[in-house]
Amino acid sequence: MSAVTASQMRQLEDQAFSRGIEAGSLMDEAGKGLARWLLDHFPQPGRAIAFIGKGKNGGDALVVLDQLRRAGWTIALRASHPTHEWTTLARQRLRRLGIEPDQGLPAGPGPLILLDGLLGIGARGALREPLDALAEEMSRLRNQAGGIVVAIDLPSGLNADDGSSGGLVADITLTLGAPKIGLLQDVAARYCGRLGLIPLAGLPMPDQPGLELTTPALLSHLSTPRPHDFHKGDAGRVRILAGSPGMSGAATLASHGALRAGAGLITLFLDPENPATPLPEVMTKRLSKRIPALFEDRCDARVIGPGLGRLTAPQAEALLEGLAQDTTPTVLDADALNLLAGSDRLDLLRSHHLITPHPGEFARLAPDLAGLLREEAATRFVDRHPCTLLLKGTRTLIATAGRNPRINPTGHAGMASGGQGDVLSGVCGALLAGGLCPLDAGSWAAWLCGRAAERAITHGGESEESCTATHTIDHLGGAFRDWREQRR
């Protein structure tokens, strides 16, 4: 499902009304879906304050409050306008809720959620009086009381079509029915925080070209139950060339990521001087000058590059030669990409390659695309080189020629630490070895690693500061479970 403009969303809504669907039932469906997302992601009941304007965006927030209260949360309400100015639907939801707007801060344990129901797709221009005062209160509670701003549909004040904003900064934006194009723009990332999509069955979305958001519902085909007589050969053989003296941890993290993402047999090729401590489940082979050994045995996927450092000239030559001959699905990361860029051999990139550069590595691969928006740069790159590109960043972008590029919504600023990319490459390798195409493997791996890092905070007691690549590995199991449960 690709992103839509505010006016396309309104057209879809009008079409639903003409099919007999009522605005009130859409609002209730939206509010229940929003609440379910929050309950899935915040397992401990806490406190929720809804900040609402007079439109339907506020009505959605009232339905969420109702659902959270049923789940044991303490709730409160702030409203910008007297109730007689509200939309009828919102007034009805307030009656059902049976509370009055007040100024107090609800007491009690658990997270403090600040629901932004001030403005949705009905917004015109910058946030005006009297809504701006409530937005300021949310920002104050976010900065001083640890409140988590959850924007309904879009952060109030953000332009749904181009992503520009002078308004509220949200930690989480849960958009309804389809992602709004503005939310997916690079400029909006800072204002939207973590994106989530709440599907609305009453509003089926058309397929059209454009950016997509990776969600379990979009890619529900990815995870099927393993047959009971499954064996390790079925789970996939991965061969990894990673790590070097001084970056030995990259080899351990990549192989651990592959192991915890379901690979059946992993072989790690190590430089003899690499002091990496391999996991007991991982087989090792000495690399020395024999890079060709990496390409000798049959396997289902290779991962080449994390922490590899600079190879000797004969090793580099042998690696390029191996890549030219090989057709096994392969993740190319970090120093493997630097080698391709440095030796001007991007012609080796093929459709079985999933390349995973961070922005610096991407700039070395495609210096002429520097300065373009990420979506455009990625699209142009895959039009030139027939591979799949996973461009790491706040919202990892995955692109391959002829398909809609995908943006990954999971993860947080705590993932800005060494080793996370090594884990991702291993997870990509395991998923490729399991038979996924590079586009699906990259999309799912990015989602899983981001979700695992989120769980390290919400379920594992970590913070953005303390979260490490090892925590991401530790929580992969929960991320897989979440994916399966959120496919509904």
Ligand X SMILES: NC(=O)C1=CN([C@@H]2O[C@H](COP(=O)(O)OP(=O)(O)OC[C@H]3O[C@@H](n4cnc5c(N)ncnc54)[C@H](OP(=O)(O)O)[C@@H]3O)[C@@H](O)[C@H]2O)[C@@H](O)CC1
Helix or strand run (H / E) with residue 213 = strand 212-213
307 is in an annotated binding site: yes
SS3 state of residue 432:
helix
Write down the residue that tokens 């403090």 correspond to. 112
342 is in an annotated binding site: no
* Residues 104-123, interacting with K ion (CB under 5 A): 116
250 is in an annotated binding site: yes
What is the residue type of 72? Answer: G
How far, CA to CA in Å, does 443 sit from each of 14, 88, 217, 263, 437?
33, 42, 13, 17, 10
Among residues 2, 87, 338, 388, which is the contact residue for ligand X, using CB under 6 A?
Answer: 87
The stretch among 22-30, 139-147, 286-294, 441-449 that binds ligand X (CB under 6 A) is 22-30
* Residues 151-210, interacting with K ion (CB under 5 A): 151-152, 156
Q: How is residue 217 written in tokens?
A: 């519902």
**Per DSSP, what are the bridge partners of residue 174?**
152, 196
> Least Å distance between CB 413 and K ion?
22
Q: How is residue 289 written in tokens?
A: 């000058």
CA pair distance 113, 49, nearest whole angstrom: 6
Among residues 1, 68, 94, 203, which is the contact residue for ligand X, using CB under 6 A?
Answer: 203
CA pair distance 11, 17, nearest whole angstrom: 10
Yes or no: say if 211 and 184 are a contact pair by the CB < 8 Å rule. Answer: yes
Among residues 54, 353, 374, 451, which is the contact residue for ligand X, using CB under 6 A?
Answer: 54
Letters for 422-451 (x = contact with ligand X by CB under 6 A, - = none) are ------------------------------
CA pair distance 398, 416, nearest whole angstrom: 19
User: Taking CB under 6 A as the rule, does residue 56 contact ligand X?
Assistant: yes
176 binds, among K ion, ligand X, none (CB under 5 to 8 A by kind): ligand X
Among residues 3, 9, 423, 448, which is the contact residue for ligand X, using CB under 6 A?
Answer: 9
How far, CA to CA in Å, does 210 sit from each of 5, 201, 269, 443, 467?
11, 21, 40, 16, 33
Three-state SS for 125-159 is CCCCCCHHHHHHHHHHHHHHHCCEEEEECCCCCEC
CA pair distance 33, 486, nearest whole angstrom: 11
341 binds, among ligand X, K ion, none (CB under 5 to 8 A by kind): none
User: Taking CB under 6 A as the rule, does residue 176 contact ligand X?
Assistant: yes
SS3 state of residue 465:
coil
> Least Å distance between CB 69 and ligand X?
19
Q: Which is nearer to ligand X, 53 or 216 (CB)?
A: 53
* Residues 100-139, interacting with ligand X (CB under 6 A): 119-128, 131
Among residues 1, 4, 50, 57, which is the contact residue for ligand X, using CB under 6 A?
Answer: 57
SS3 state of residue 102:
coil
> Least Å distance between CB 130 and ligand X?
8
122 is in an annotated binding site: yes
123 is in an annotated binding site: yes
Establish how many alpha carbons lie within 13 A of residue 256's alpha carbon, considering only the half-sphere containing its beta carbon.
Answer: 26
> Least Å distance between CB 47 and ligand X?
22
* Residues 250-279, interacting with ligand X (CB under 6 A): none
| Phi, psi at 182, each rounded to 5° | -60, -35
| CB closest to ligand X, residue no | 120
CA pair distance 140, 148, nearest whole angstrom: 11
Give the count of residues interacting with ligand X (CB under 6 A).
29
Yes or no: say if 198 and 177 are a contact pair by the CB < 8 Å rule. Answer: yes
> Least Å distance between CB 54 and ligand X?
5
CA pair distance 239, 402, nearest whole angstrom: 29
CA pair distance 406, 440, nearest whole angstrom: 10
- Give 16-46 as a DSSP string: HHHTT--HHHHHHHHHHHHHHHHHHH--S--
91 is in an annotated binding site: no
User: Taking CB under 6 A as the rule, does residue 453 contact ligand X?
Assistant: no
Q: Which is nearer to ligand X, 123 or 436 (CB)?
A: 123
Q: Which is nearer to ligand X, 4 or 473 (CB)?
A: 4
Q: Which is nearer to K ion, 118 or 389 (CB)?
A: 118
393 binds, among ligand X, K ion, none (CB under 5 to 8 A by kind): none
54 binds, among ligand X, K ion, none (CB under 5 to 8 A by kind): ligand X
Annotated binding residues for (6S)-NADPHX:
56-60, 120-126, 153, 250, 307, 358, 422
The contact set with ligand X (CB under 6 A) reads: 9, 13, 26-27, 30, 53-57, 60, 87, 119-128, 131, 152-153, 176-177, 200, 203
Annotated binding residues for AMP:
392-396, 421
